[in-house]
Structure 1
Amino acid sequence: MLLLRPHHINCLFFYKGLGYSKEFIKGMNEIPILLKKDPNTTLKLVTGCDNVCFYCPNKQLNNICITKEKVDNLDYNTLKIYNLKLNKEYKFRGIIDNIYKNFNKNNFHAICSTCNWYKQGICSDNAIIDQLKNWNL
């Protein structure tokens, strides 16, 4: 089972092979590959560090993000907009069907506008169409 912070659903969708370090990129690359290979993978939405955070330099020794308040807000917005629940298990196929196929600029801005990747233009609403193709949606 894959453990994911709620906002990382969005990060996976926009992921382009960039990251904080070579170790982070290598670990992050494995997750979309797994999900594309088996869209029925079970994931559980959690608070705190998850599979994406494993190699993140923002993760402290106590498994708390140094930007905890900011990422907690990203998680809250994701849960609210997508009507998801913490500690609940989902099949990734359900995430694809209920979120990615309906992803739009309004959701993107409401959830991601406080994120540094968004502010740097790495994730942009112009990429939505490309990502839908990349995920074969």
Structure 2
Amino acid sequence: MYKLRGHHLFCLLGYRGMGYSQEYVENMTSLHQTLRDNPKTRIQLVKGPDQLCEKYPNSGEYHCQDDNIYERDAVILEKLGLNIGQILNWKDIELLIRRYIVPSDIQSVCKTCSWRSYGVCEEGIQEILEGKGLREVK
């Protein structure tokens, strides 16, 4: 079982193999591939730093404790009808995304995210809406 915070549910949709450091990329790629290969993988929703944050590089200000990140987590969980502490499998998260999320939500929910300008998160949501699942990271 993986422990994830709210906004990382969206980050996984847009993940294309880029990240903050090699260690972070390896960790994110491993999780992403696990969810892609086994959508029944269980996820526990947590408040604050999660298993992806563990590999965020220590370069001064700790991004994972920023108030904007906590707000983004809360908004995403609310849009999906989810709560901290809840445990569900990735497949069920994808079903909730299909039910409650549209690609343009990224523009408002993730407006302070530095990765938003790449457009990959909207693409990832669209692929989930089309039933394609997570895109292969090459």
Report the Cα distance in structure 1 between the residues aligned to 2:120 and 2:4, rounded to whole angstroms: 19
Change (3 A) 1:128 1:90: closer
**TM, length-normalised to structure 2:** 0.81
Report the Cα distance in structure 2 between the residues aligned to 1:59 and 1:45, rounded to whole angstroms: 26
Matches within 5 A, 1:76-87: 76-87=74-85
Deviations 1:49-94 (A, max 9, x none): 111112112688xxx6455201101101101211110111111110
Q: Is the 8 A contact 1:35 1:92 kept in 2?
A: yes
Deviations 1:70-128 (A, max 9, x none): 1101101101211110111111110011214653134222321121111x435453554
Indicate the RMSD between aligned Cα atoms, in angstroms.
2.5
Report the Cα distance in structure 2 between the residues aligned to 1:88 and 1:130, rounded to whole angstroms: 25
Counterpart of 2:53 in structure 1 is 53
Q: Which has the higher contact order (CA 8 A, sep 6+)?
A: 2
Report the Cα distance in structure 2 between the residues aligned to 1:58 and 1:74, rounded to whole angstroms: 21
Query: Quick one: which amino acid aligns to residue 44 of structure 1?
Result: Q
Q: Is the 8 A contact 1:81 1:107 kept in 2?
A: no
Q: Is the 8 A contact 2:13 2:121 kept in 1?
A: no
Query: Quick one: which amino acid aligns to residue 67 of structure 2?
Result: E
Report the Cα distance in structure 2 between the residues aligned to 1:130 and 1:30, rounded to whole angstroms: 20
* 2:108 counterpart of 1:110: yes
- Identity across the alignment (%): 27
Report the Cα distance in structure 2 between the residues aligned to 1:35 and 1:66, rounded to whole angstroms: 22
1:98 is paired with a residue whose SS is: helix
Query: Which of 97, 100, 116 matches 1:99?
Result: 97
> Which stretch of the first structure deviates more once superposed, 7-16 or 34-43?
34-43
Q: Is the 8 A contact 1:4 1:43 kept in 2?
A: yes
1:44 is paired with a residue whose SS is: strand
Counterpart of 1:44 in structure 2 is 44
Report the Cα distance in structure 2 between the residues aligned to 1:45 and 1:127, rounded to whole angstroms: 20
